[in-house]
């Protein structure tokens, strides 16, 4: 195994032993994940932190960079060294460190409720890059609270640059954003959309134009444009496509 791969597996989350009780968690656990992958356009894979490998890789093409799911699974974390630009690879290693430092301070009973999101670039066989959004959430924990297996979901990013590191807690209106320049976590409030803004986003996602949305919900096109512009400002995006992607990726609609 490439020694560099160890950098992705923090000593704070080293899984040396799996108990019989731990193994009871994983009976046929990949079947619902395979079913979910068949219904989703997003790429899905599962990390095993004990074996330092990938348990599963979906055949959704976004993550694969021109390879088959089987080939990526066999590459394991070596895939990242081949298909992530050097500066973004360094970023991923830093994110890995700060994530496990954060995670180590969460109470054991709360740990499954946290998800980390961030953006990085993938390059295909032709050297062209795309920016993807990556979500990682614990799937199974050991009896002492270490992440044994984690599920990761990869989709197109709505941003324009790598980073954008955030941690969300299920059921909380707050999230943590990591300041990569000053190296600290900042607590922020989630964006809260009005029902009107959600409505406009949903119709926009269905392909309706501004005039068509205005007619459906009995508002003027100028009012729809006003709401859209406010959405762009609140979500820090520049167009409706990015707004829809951001809202979906961050569970706002």
Radius of gyration of the chain, Cα coordinates, nearest whole angstrom: 20
pLDDT for res 248: 83
The pTM is what? 0.79
| Cα–Cα distance, 67 to 79 (Å, whole number) | 10
238 three-class SS? coil
60-76 pLDDT tens trace: 999 999 999 999 999 99
pLDDT for res 202: 93
In order of their start, the domains of the chain are: 3-189 (3.30.450.20), 195-249 (1.10.10.10)
Listed as ranges, residues in the chain with pLDDT below 70 are: 1-3, 11
Contact between residue 150 and residue 29 where contact means Cβ atoms under 8 Å apart: no
pLDDT for res 1: 61
pLDDT for res 16: 74
């Amino acid at each position: 195994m490439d020694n560099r791969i160890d950098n992705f597996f923090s000593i704070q989350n080293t899984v040396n032993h799996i108990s019989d009780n731990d193994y009871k968690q994983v009976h046929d656990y990949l079947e619902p994940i395979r079913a979910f992958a068949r219904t989703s356009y997003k790429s899905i894979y599962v990390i095993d932190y004990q074996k330092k490998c990938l348990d599963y890789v979906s055949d959704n093409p976004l993550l694969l960079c021109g390879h088959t799911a089987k080939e990526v699974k066999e590459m394991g974390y070596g895939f990242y060294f081949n298909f992530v630009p050097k500066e973004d690879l360094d970023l991923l290693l830093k994110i890995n460190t700060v994530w496990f430092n954060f995670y180590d301070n969460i109470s054991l009973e709360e740990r499954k409720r946290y998800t980390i999101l961030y953006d990085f670039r993938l390059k295909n066989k032709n050297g062209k890059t795309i920016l993807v959004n990556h979500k990682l959430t614990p799937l199974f924990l050991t009896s002492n609270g270490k992440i044994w297996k984690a599920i990761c979901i990869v989709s197109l990013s709505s941003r324009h640059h790598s980073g954008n590191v955030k941690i969300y807690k299920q059921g909380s209106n707050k999230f943590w954003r990591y300041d990569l320049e000053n190296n600290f976590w900042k607590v922020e409030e989630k964006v809260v959309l009005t029902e009107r803004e959600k409505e406009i986003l949903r119709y926009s996602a269905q392909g309706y134009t501004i005039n068509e949305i205005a007619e459906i919900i009995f508002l003027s096109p100028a009012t729809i444009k006003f709401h859209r512009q406010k959405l762009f400002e609140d979500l820090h995006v520049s167009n409706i496509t990015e707004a829809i992607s951001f809202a979906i990726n961050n569970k706002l609609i």
